[in-house]
Amino acid sequence: MAGQLVRRYPWVASSLVVLAVVLGLLAGGEPDVARWVGSGWALLVGARVAVGMVRDLIAGHWGVDLLALTAIVATVVVGEYVASLVVVLMLTGGQALEDFAAHRARQELRALLERAPTRAHRLDAAGGVVDVDVADVRPGDLLLVRPAEVVPVDAELVDPETDFDESSLTGESLPVTRGVGDPVLSGVLNTEQAVTLRATAAAADSQYARIVAMVREAAESRAPVVRLADRYAVPFTIFAFLVAGAAFAYHRDPTVVAEVLVVATPCPLLLAAPVAFLGGMSRAARHGLIVKDAGTLERLAAVRTAAFDKTGTITVGRPALLAVRARPPWRSDELLRLAASAEQYSSHVLATTVREAAVERGLALDSAQTAREEATHGVAARVGGHDVVVGKLRRVARSAPDAVEEPLEQGELAVYVAVDGRFAGTLVMSDPARPDARETMEELARLGITETLMLSGDSTATAEHVADAVGIARVHAECLPADKVRLVQELPDRPVLMVGDGVNDAPVLAAADVGVAMGARGSTAASESADVVILTEDLRRTVTAVRVGRRTMTVALQSIWLGIALSVVLMGVAATGVIPAVVGALSQEVVDLLAILNALRALQDDRSDRVDVPGSAAERAEGAARAGGALRPRLR
């Protein structure tokens, strides 16, 4: 790892080695050799900076590099070669950090590309299966997709009704039932049984390929972040040259010019902001937030609009049992125990919820004498001397003709249960809103976020139900990834913060000014595309991120202005010719130290950063269950 860093950033490594050699020579009583080595390396780096600066000037951009070059030359001229090496190290280190951040940004496509299928099972005319490259699939080809495989291209279902996990595209937490002739998008997961599909598009024209392309386009379309120091470099540089010119005109002594330029070195600009930003990033990490670069903190400080995905972001992202509605003579616990005992033999996501709910209530599950699962429809089992059927209304009604549809609220779904040929009741579930979602919206409003909105792939009724529960007034439902990107790009009040968690959110996270991924259970693609990753299941960390960004910017600006103000005072004194160059250099080091110490305040926590949701884990889970549902009404 160390060898890779040295090869990737040779100028940083070489500057560190030269600095160590110079310090060793000084300790060994060889100041002349140390001066030649340090000065020679500083001037070599200065020449490299000058070449880059000329290129930037031709491109119409200039900034703190001009000040740094001036500082290198001035400190070498007056013999402060150690200070020259410090400036060199700050320059090369800053360039390395910028390159590292850009390299990380290019990695955001990895998860998407790794997940994309490369092979497809094509059916030939004789019914045989031939494995081919996914690029060779053409519209009209019949494809076999086995359980737990990703659909390779956009297609339509040829086989009878089956379930697909579309969470990677739409964010919907439950499998979606598709029938004969229904469209099936590439990138969705086939859940339980092998199916035959007819390709309707080539791989390059399919939904998953478009998602990858949108992430790439959104990432590349972002304007580069201008370094904070560059904004102050031009006026500060002009002022420093004016003071140096006035001093020379008065004293007619070039030494005074060098003395002025020494105390005008840009170390407060070069060091204060990066130290503050690193402090802010460290402070964010203590609260379970990974902030990927300094520019993200700057944009967080200015956020005006916040947009949220629904499933897995505003909601918990997994079904929760809300109620057991048993019919006499069955009691709710007994009905749940029988249903969970039968569901032990199902891999369906709802079956998992039923089993976990029974275990949480301390119910002992029975083994089944016989069990049979009908994929996407339900389970029939012989449990504790009873014939139990659990699943969709249509399947349960075949065993229990008296079964009736359960009236449901917005965002709820029902699992039906029959025992010994009679309808025994329903299990009502939902995807609950996070218990901290409403408080998050309220705190963002107090921070001056002018608008919050929800972007969801779910139905309008379900999305509006959840938005109303958490206090979001503006909702865009039934959105595909391209719709989310378009909506975020059209928002007028910027910067825009977008919070999401799935592969389907990767493009919009890359397109937003600040993308925030709920990374504890979210997809790798979302985490790679985002600027901030929340490592916990706590939505209020979004508020913490904004607070950290604002405080970091405040401290960085204070440190920069402190350094500039003290440097201006020193320049004024140096212009009189009363400060020797060595004293001026030492004085500038004091300015640097003060600016850095002030910048370190960005590490300090505010009381407002403590955003833990009160109560035990069980109490929080109970609060989540009470928070209401957010699933599209759908039978199993």
Known catalytic residues? 309
The H or E element spanning position 511 is helix 506-511
Distance between CA atoms of residues 240 and 238, nearest Å: 5
315 to 97, 370, 435, 598, 632: CA distances (angstroms): 36, 37, 9, 40, 13
**Strand 378-383 to 386-391 pairing:** antiparallel
Distance between CA atoms of residues 360 and 471, nearest Å: 31
8 Å CB contact between 587 and 570: yes
Distance between CA atoms of residues 386 and 65, nearest Å: 81
**What length is written for the chain?**
636
8 Å CB contact between 267 and 275: no
205 to 134, 186, 201, 210, 525: CA distances (angstroms): 12, 10, 6, 7, 20
Q: How many other C-beta atoms are found inside a 10 Å radius of the C-beta of residue 591? A: 22
581-599 helix and 541-574 helix, angle to the nearest 10 degrees: 160
Distance between CA atoms of residues 474 and 57, nearest Å: 45
**Strand 496-500 to 514-518 pairing:** parallel
Residue whose entry in the numeric block shows the structure tokens 């089993």: 355
Distance between CA atoms of residues 35 and 292, nearest Å: 38
8 Å CB contact between 420 and 387: yes
The answer to whether the bond into 31 is cis (omega within 30° of 0) is no
8 Å CB contact between 88 and 41: yes
> Contacts for 616-621 with beta carbons within 8 Å, 24 or more apart?
620/435
Going by C-alpha positions, the residue among 346, 280, 283, 355 that lies closest to residue 321 is 355
**Strand 155-157 to 183-184 pairing:** antiparallel
81-106 helix and 267-286 helix, angle to the nearest 10 degrees: 40
Contacts of 11 (CB under 8 A, 6+ apart): 45, 48, 92, 95, 96
Strand partners of residue 183: 156
User: Residue 565 corresponds to which tokens in the numbers above?
Assistant: 């103000």
